[in-house]
Amino acid sequence: MINVFIGKKGSGKTKKLIDYANKAVETSNGNVVVIEKGLKLTYDITHKARLIDSDAYGIKGLDALEGFLCGICAGNYDVTDILLDSTLKIIGQDMAALTDLITKAKKLSEEANVTFTLSISADESEIPAEVLAMVNTI
């Protein structure tokens, strides 16, 4: 399953993602991973979640992010949720790349039994219809 928070900058996506991550930790029978760009969520996300700074690992662009997500799933079968803040800052402001990411994340979600939750800083009208058809908008 893939969930998304969509909205322009300042619309409260990150706050919703924080709440969602903290609730996921409470209900998960495994591990919750939160990937962020920069270290801005350190004090907001519970210490029970694995918080990863994408900049610290040099994750820039679609291919690097896809490989990183696959590596997380391959390295730990107990991961139940992966949350990604600032998706477009990591992959670039490319809607074709977003479509590719969602397509591959959907397949990975099914194979690894992981729920992905992404925050996307864009107006919903800017998101390709193909993407909207594959995700649950929260």
pLDDT (tens digit per residue) in 39-85? 888 889 999 999 999 999 999 999 999 999 999 999 989 999 999 99
C-alpha 117: how far from chain center: 5
Residues with Cβ within 8 Å of residue 3, at least 6 apart in sequence = 20, 115, 116, 117, 118, 135, 136, 137, 138
- Model pTM above 0.75: yes
Domains of the chain: 2-137 (3.40.50.300)
pLDDT at 138 > cutoff 90: no
